[in-house]
Amino acid sequence: MNPHFSELLNYFLELKDSIMDFVYPPHCLVCGRYLSEKEKDLCEGCWNSLGIIPDPFCPNCKSFFSDEKSRCLFCSTDSNLLYVRSLGIFDDFYKVLIHKFKYKGKVSLGKKLSKKLGEEIRKDKRFSSFDFLIPVPLHPARKRERGYNQSEIMGEVISKDLGIPFLKNELKRIKNTKDQTKLNDEQRRKNVKDAFKVSFPEMIKDKKIILVDDVITTGATLDECARVLKDNGAKKIVGATLVLAVN
């Protein structure tokens, strides 16, 4: 998809939201309360009640890292992905928000959540000195169907917040994989095996990279992306997602 077309589509999605808000009084996506002029998508009460995960965690066993630790002490094998930082746990609250962002065109909501994630990441010294942010890509057919890649929207916001360059097209999805939602751990890993390709290996050689996606469950997709980046010369790869889905 042409990047200018993608930007234009995002603009019209947000414009549609504004028009709908003008015609129909906007209400909170979670509790249903009518919103004030200063509120957008969520009322202040629901926004302030968002559960925030305080630390990064191991993508394999999901144990949290405290005291600025950056490697899991419980997993004996090295992972392609060192650690992941998520904004919150995929509870009923976040489930509504992610669904609206991912499938209902609520780009403004996605940007709001992404900015909050960027603010939390910026506080953590473990995420300093990274070279690039790279989004987990959608297959072109899936992107045309949905109209946008939610991970790209996230990456653009977080990139500005952290002051780290955003490589939108460095990683390509070359297999139109099945939806991971109903697959078990082993099936997920087989599903995404060899599904990604690096466009310009020289860009990422010896670089430290933050991979961006909306949800991490088993970590299969992020780990496969990290493997491909590592095989093409990347030095260090970590992840940033909006939510951690505990299965």
165-217 pLDDT per residue, tens: 999 999 999 998 888 888 888 899 998 999 999 999 999 999 999 999 999 99
Instruction: Look up the domain containing 147 and give its range.
Output: 52-244
Residue 175 located in a structural domain = yes
Residue 44 located in a structural domain = no
Residue 116 located in a structural domain = yes
Residue 17 located in a structural domain = no
pTM of the complete model: 0.87
Using alpha carbons only, what angle is made at residue 42 by residues 219 and 168, rounded to the nearest 5 degrees? 40
Residue 14 located in a structural domain = no
Residue 119 located in a structural domain = yes
Note the pLDDT tens digit of each residue in 3-24.
Answer: 555 566 555 666 655 555 555 6
The token pair at 111 is: 């940007």
Residue 1 located in a structural domain = no
CATH number of the domain to which 67 belongs: 3.40.50.2020
Asked whether 216 and 242 are in contact (CB, 8 A), the reply is: no
pLDDT at 79: 79
* Structural domain count of the chain: 1
Coil, helix or strand for 155?
helix
Calculate the alpha carbon distances from 97 to 104, 170, 219, 231 in Å: 10, 28, 21, 35
Note the pLDDT tens digit of each residue in 109-128.
Answer: 999 999 999 999 999 999 98
Strand partners, 134: 211
Residue 185 located in a structural domain = yes
Q: How do beta strands 132-135 and 236-244 pair?
A: unpaired
The token pair at 114 is: 């992404």
Q: Dihedrals φ, ψ of 41, to 5°?
A: 70, -50
